[in-house]
């Protein structure tokens, strides 16, 4: 049997709506304050989609940038995975991204795992490359939870923002490995901690047939439970992937966590003994963009030269499900 194919991470991209909403602006209609939000979360502002924005166009913009950075033409893309919990079509928004890119040879589909979505999609895409099924995969994380928060609920709406990020991933030159270890977990028994549920109302079609109709409500969250879950599970899953790869925390260049809360980033880093200078954060500007946080942060750090080819990055996503996972990545190819 031939050896499994290696993975190379060769491009990144991102896109956000242009409208910024500061904490002070939120306090125009909510009983909240800049001081409360900053001290509890590290968030100062977030981007909010207005009526001109669309999830599919942000996702397409991010994907195009990643594709261009990798040096691929649209016809070379073989798989597009769109991690999102807020598609514009419940049948899937990924085909719209495929069409916008003109990636006519690709297959495109959505993957839903809330804030773990990008990491789960990255791991899923890597399996297709390892198996030799596809050679070039675009992994996109995009969410617009501004459409799904209750803007009168100060416990949740202050946390989230909108955005998209993407990564180009391909079969590696011989001997190169960009995905050194990975793990994914879910615990459906704790799904009530963070939900966006369908509310079903009865529809009487005739005397003996009652079907359901309805729509989705808004996000509900037990903030303290989610916080405790994250600071317990994320260090454990990161330790597991580091051990799988035989890497120590000191060898890491960067810690790239799902951007949910500055205090969670600090607690996880402290547990692993990783200095604050290696912890990537853009929470201040974007808040929690759900499936987009990891590729949005990655692209920012690649663009400013923080993340360099060959750098070793430990990444972890976590959120509703409850779901969580980790991957040990080596950026670019040297
Ligand atoms: N502005 C002002 N006050 C607020 C507020 C806001 N935006 N949100 C909540 N409060 C109030 C509460 O009503 C409560 O008031 P009370 O004591 O009078 O009832 C008080 O602040 C403390 O609330 P609490 O929920 O205990 O705060 P907290 O310290 O747990 O912080 C979170 C709340 C949401 C910031 C924190 O629990 C958290 O970050 N959890 C993780 C959430 C997350 O990351 N989710 C996404 C995961 S993918």
Does residue 74 register a pLDDT over 90?
Answer: yes
Cα separation values, 7 from 140, 146, 291, 315, 332, Å: 17, 34, 21, 16, 10
Q: Which residues pair with 167 in a beta bridge?
A: 12, 139
Q: Is residue 201 part of a domain?
A: no
End residue of a domain, out of 121, 149, 175: 175
| Residue 32 lies inside a defined structural domain of this protein | yes
- Ligand 1 pocket test, pick from 26, 27, 29, 40 with the greatest ligand atom count within 8 Å of Cβ, gives 40
Which residue in 203, 110, 178, 156 sits closest to 330, CA to CA?
A: 178
Q: Tell whether 168 and 279 lie within a shared domain.
A: no
- Do 45 and 92 belong to one domain? yes
Q: Whose CA is nearest to atom 35 of ligand 1?
A: 40
The answer to whether the CB of 316 is under 6 A from ligand 1 is: no
CA of 296 to the centre of ligand 1 (A): 25
Check residue 2 and give its pLDDT: 56
Reply yes or no on whether 288 is catalytic. Answer: yes
- Is the same domain home to 165 and 225? no
Answer whether residue 1 is part of any domain: no
pLDDT tier at 163 (50, 70, 90 boundaries)?
very high
Evaluate if residue 148 carries a pLDDT over 90.
yes
For all residues of the chain together, what is the average pLDDT?
A: 97
Distance from the alpha carbon of residue 280 to the mean position of ligand 1, in angstroms? 23
pLDDT for 175: 87
Question: Looking at the structure, do residues 89 and 151 belong to the same domain, yes or no?
Answer: yes
225 shares its domain with 149:
no
In the annotation, is 157 catalytic?
no
Tell whether the model's pLDDT for residue 3 goes beyond 60. yes
The sign of the torsion formed by the CA atoms of 94, 99, 103, 104 equals positive
Say yes or no: 242 and 168 in one domain: no
Whether 312 contacts 247, CB under 8 Å: yes
Query: 127 and 59 in one domain?
Result: yes
Co-location of 28 and 170 in the same domain: yes
Percent over 70 (pLDDT), the chain: 99
Domain edge (last residue) among 175, 201, 236:
175
Summarize pLDDT for 200-233 with one digit per residue, the tens: 999 999 999 999 999 999 999 999 999 999 999 9
What distance in angstroms lies between residue 127's CA and the mean position of ligand 1's atoms? 38
Structure tokens at 104: 């006519």
Kindly state whether residues 143 and 185 are assigned to the same domain.
Answer: no
pLDDT of residue 279: 98
Cβ burial of 177 (10 Å; 0-12, 13-18, 19+) is middle
97-132 per-position pLDDT tens digit? 999 999 999 999 999 999 999 999 999 999 999 999
Q: Are strands 79-83 and 107-111 parallel, antiparallel or unpaired?
A: parallel
Selected catalytic residue, list 23, 157, 193, 258: 258
Cβ contact 293:62 at 8 Å? no
Give the DSSP per-residue string, 23-53. Answer: HHHHTTTSS--HHHHHHHH---EEE---TT-
Same-domain pairing of 66 and 140: yes
Count of domains forming the chain: 2
Give the position of tokens 């079969």: 171
Same domain, residue pair 34 and 47: yes
Within-domain flag for 212:
no
Residues 325 and 229 in one domain: yes
Q: What's the average model confidence in pLDDT over 151-164?
A: 98
In a domain, 165, yes or no: yes
Last residue of a domain, one of 140, 175, 210: 175
User: Does a structural domain hold residue 311?
Assistant: yes
Q: What is the DSSP letter of 158?
A: T
Q: At 84, list the tokens.
A: 């999102």
- Residue 319 Cβ contacting ligand 1 at under 6 Å: yes
Q: Which residue has the tokens 């609920």?
A: 153
Q: Is residue 206 part of a domain?
A: no
The pLDDT tens digits for 18-52 are 999 999 999 999 999 999 999 999 999 999 999 99
Could you tell me if residue 205 is inside a domain? no
User: What's the domain range around 29?
Assistant: 7-175
Cβ 224 under 6 angstroms from ligand 1: yes
pLDDT band at 1 (very low <50, low <70, confident <90, very high): very low
Alpha-carbon span 82 to 107, nearest angstrom: 11
CATH number of the domain encompassing residue 320: 3.40.47.10
Pocket test for ligand 1, best of 29, 157, 227 (most atoms within 8 A of CB): 227
CB of 41 within 6 A of ligand 1: the answer is yes
């Amino acid at each position: 049997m031939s050896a499994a194919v290696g993975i190379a991470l060769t491009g990144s991209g991102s896109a956000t709506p242009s409208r910024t909403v500061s904490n002070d602006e939120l306090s125009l209609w909510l009983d909240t304050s800049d001081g409360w939000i900053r001290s509890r979360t590290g968030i100062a502002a977030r981007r909010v989609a207005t009526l001109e924005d669309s999830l599919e166009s942000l996702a397409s913009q991010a994907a195009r940038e990643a594709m261009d950075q990798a040096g691929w033409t649209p016809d070379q893309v073989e798989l597009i995975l769109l991690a999102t919990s807020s598609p514009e079509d419940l049948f899937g928004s990924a085909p719209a991204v495929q069409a916008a890119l003109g990636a006519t040879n690709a297959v495109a589909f959505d993957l839903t795992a809330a804030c773990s979505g990008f990491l789960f999609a990255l791991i899923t895409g890597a399996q297709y490359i390892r198996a030799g099924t596809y050679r070039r995969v675009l992994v996109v994380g995009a969410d617009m939870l501004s459409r799904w928060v209750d803007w009168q609920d100060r416990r949740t709406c202050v946390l989230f923002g909108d955005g998209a990020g993407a990564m180009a991933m391909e079969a590696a030159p011989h001997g190169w490995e960009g995905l050194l270890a990975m793990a994914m977990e879910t615990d459906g028994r704790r799904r009530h901690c963070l939900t966006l549920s369908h509310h079903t109302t009865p529809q009487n079609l005739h005397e003996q047939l009652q079907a359901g109709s309805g729509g989705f409500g808004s996000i509900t969250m037990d903030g303290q439970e989610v916080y405790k879950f994250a600071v317990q599970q994320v260090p454990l899953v990161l330790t597991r992937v580091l051990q799988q790869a035989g890497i120590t925390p000191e060898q890491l260049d960067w810690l790239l966590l799902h951007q949910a809360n500055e205090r969670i980033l600090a607690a996880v880093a402290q547990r692993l003994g990783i200095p604050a200078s290696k912890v990537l954060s853009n929470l201040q500007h974007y808040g929690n963009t759900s499936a987009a946080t990891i590729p949005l942060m990655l692209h920012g750090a690649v663009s400013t030269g923080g993340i360099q080819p060959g750098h070793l990055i430990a990444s972890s996503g976590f959120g509703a499900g409850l779901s969580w996972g980790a991957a040990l990545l080596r950026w670019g190819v040297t």
